[in-house]
Structure 1
């Protein structure tokens, strides 16, 4: 029979990545954690971890079970956290999951606008994570998600979606400064700093460039738009980025020009299925509306 202690041991090993760390968190011995994991493996009928020397690595089956366990225990965690907040005076927190590009630009700008105009008093703390947005919102670990719009908006409610232009950024003095707009063809042979292939932006831009007869000369790839902006600012190449990264680049004296291309940068705001945002959450959505509406002005 699967017991609560076995599941707790499994949870903490998955969360902490080791038997030792799980034992410390649970305040029991490492052999006790190991025994509980073995008992759970016997009960479920498959291996949860493989041993590589001193390291343990979750199996694919463990990840599948972990997702079910997290969903099952999430409601209890939410009740516990809410009770603590009520005891502390009734205020609650607002948790935001944001794609990295928005976590350093759009979200801070919107939060600043909400605070400047007087944040509603129903929120005592705002937390931000850049872990996979849709997953965090679907699992109700985040009250609001700010993401690049994809077709994987399952188990969440779509609050807003926006389409905004892409921008080309370059260092001061670059020839693009003489143009009102930059076309994809203008990037042919140009030293370019791209997004990592694992990112949605990287996949979109790879599709553009693969359709060109002569694409840009990609010398570096990065995961974060903020890193790309820093490299472009040092004259190491040009890039195509979202409007908010482009605005920060322009504020630092760099060249920013619209990309003359039919495809636009798509943004989505999501919340857990069937939930209602707090007053601060609603205010933040309105602030994001304003920030998006300011693009191009």
Structure 2
């Protein structure tokens, strides 16, 4: 399988004919037909039905095209990233963060950072863990903050702290009267289920609920804690969630309680190895670590 064969297939799918594909590739129509034939031979299945001089994609072609398009979009994205890096101004800091951190730790750290870099432009992206990794490895951001990332080639990591997950319910919920919540207390309750793209991070939480899982009502699935807290505020469910977003929702009728057994998850920041001497980036990471030391979510302070 060769790149030009894949390219010919993609253009046929996008433009509809070998003639249009040939024009896009600046080659002859027979050349495109040969590339397509060679690709089908390499794959071991037909990509098109040929009827009355027209090509009709097979189901296999449609399935294969999805992966082909993802690969090409990835290349186009890399080209865009390279262009942005070439034109990037030195007084710019690009950050990607999970939503809970972006609305709690990040504003506090930026407030501290701006004391030293008041004119610096800061761009903040809010992403899932998988997107954090992709953007970091692609070089489209300077820093990623959230649950501690796995070890990655060319990426430096710094540990921020362990955060204990909490039980959350609406203030008028019967369980809000208890001082500590256990898995047994959740029997019969509608409990939020976290659907995350990095399930390894939620294995400990799942393990804590395994003993009562069959006795829980788990019909609301969420992929961000802010969504979870909004469901809780509406009285639709209770949940065991990260503690950061609770800051935003405690003033909206949500209460949090310790959950036993205690569940801790590590949080950290990460940046490209070649950016470690970036003066502004270093200053900002120090601001993050300083602010985190005083946050209740990391087991200290009252902020």
What is the TM-score with the length of structure 2 in the denominator? 0.68
Partners of 2:227 and 2:240 in 1: CA distance: 13
Residues 38, 197 of structure 1: alpha-carbon distance in 2 compared, 3 angstrom cutoff: farther
Question: In the alignment, which residue of structure 2 is the partner of 1:269?
Answer: 269
**By how many angstroms is 1:93 displaced?**
2.7
Q: Please give the alpha-carbon distance, in whole angstroms, between the structure 2 residues aligned to 1:281 and 1:154.
A: 19
Partner of 1:134: 133
Deviation at residue 210 of structure 1 after TM alignment: 1.8
User: What is residue 178 of structure 1 aligned with on the other side?
Assistant: 177
Between structure 1 and structure 2, the one with the greater Rg is: 2
Inter-partner Cα distance in structure 2 for 1:292 and 1:274: 25
Q: Indicate the residue corresponding to 1:149 in structure 2.
A: 148
CA separation of 1:113/1:38 partners in 2, compared to 1, >3 Å: closer, same or farther?
A: farther
Aligned to 2:109: 110
How far apart are residue 118 of structure 1 and its match? 5.1
Taking the aligned partners of 2:191 and 2:141, their CA distance within structure 1 comes to 35
Structure 2 residue runs without a partner (length 5+): 48-56
Quick one: distance in 2 between partners of 1:225 and 1:100?
8
Residue 185 of structure 1 and its aligned partner are, at CA, apart by 2.6
* Selected match of 2:87 from 75, 80, 84: 84
Report SS of the residue matched to 1:94.
strand
Matched, 1:32 2:31: no
Q: CA deviation at 1:243?
A: 1.5
CA positional deviation for 1:64: 9.5
Local SS of the residue matching 1:163 = strand
Secondary structure in 2 aligned to 1:237? coil
Number of residue equivalences: 269
Alpha-carbon shift at residue 95 of structure 1 (Å): 2.1
Q: Does 1:195 align with 2:171?
A: no
For 1:244, the equivalent position in structure 2 comes to 244
Q: Distance in 1 between matches of 2:182 and 2:254?
A: 18
RMSD: 4.2
CA distance in structure 2 between the aligned counterparts of 1:109 and 1:266, rounded to whole angstroms: 19
Q: Show the 5 A alignment for 1:248-259.
A: 248-259=248-259
Give the secondary-structure state (helix, strand or coil) at the position aligned to 1:243.
coil
SS of equivalent residue, structure 2 residue 136: helix
Unpaired runs of at least 5, structure 1: 21-28
Q: Does 1:124 align with 2:115?
A: no
Alpha carbons of structure 1 residues 182 and 61: separation in structure 2 relative to 1, 3 Å: closer
Contact 1:193–1:222 (8 Å) recurs in 2: yes
Distance 1:61 1:226, change over 3 A: closer
Output the TM-score relative to the length of structure 1: 0.70
Query: Does structure 1 retain, via aligned residues, the 8 Å contact 2:204–2:263?
Result: no
